[in-house]
Amino acid sequence: MVNWREDSGRAASDRVPLDAIVDVFRDRDDLARPLTASDIMDEVGCSRRTAHNKLNELVEEGVLETRKVGSRSRVWWEPIHERPDDRPSEASTAPEHLVEEVDLPGTGKTLKARQEALLASYEYLQEHPEAKKSDFLQDVFPQNPAEYETAEGWWNAIQPALAELPGVNPPEERGHIWHFLGG
């Protein structure tokens, strides 16, 4: 990491090249995960203001996209531009097929019930792009108990599986709101 806070007589935003910001997006393990200004600050070693200025400049240039995800939170990502002939078939990316790939406990009828509960949770998050754990327990669990006796037991199985599905942004540590970012 290069620390761009070092004083060289120029404004901090002038010292941080746009390429350094773009490299943060391209050099990470999960290319689909959006980043925050704090992520950029940590990686590049710049101030929050510099991170925001550079990120917004990259949005204006069409290199990044951004979205507000709370009253005071914003995320940025590098858009993926696919040609129609490069896309997987609809059958392989349909939500029903995606949940079949996720590891859930159980076999047979029990596994099928849990896949249906996961699918219902995924669809719920798509319809409500900002949802809390309590929303899932109140609105999804009663119709999709997936052979769990308690809502907590159900959530302990569903939430890690839900976090694996495309477009799902689970809350960070101590966070409460799940986001659907599309996908």
Closest Cα partner for 76 from 25, 19, 35, 28? 35
**Which of 20, 53, 77 is the C-terminal boundary of a domain?**
77
Q: Residue 92 pLDDT more than 60?
A: no
Q: What is the pTM of this model?
A: 0.51
Q: Are residues 111 and 64 in the same domain?
A: no
Residue type, 74: R
pLDDT digits (tens, 9 = 90+) for 124-183: 999 998 999 999 999 999 999 999 999 999 999 999 999 988 889 888 877 788 988 875
Task: Evaluate whether residue 17 is within a structural domain.
Answer: yes
- Domain range for 70 is 12-77
Looking at the DSSP bridge assignments, the partners of residue 74 are 68
Judged by DSSP in three states, 177 sits in strand
CB 86 within 8 Å of CB 80:
no
Task: Evaluate whether residue 3 is within a structural domain.
Answer: no
- CATH number, domain of 34, equals 1.10.10.10
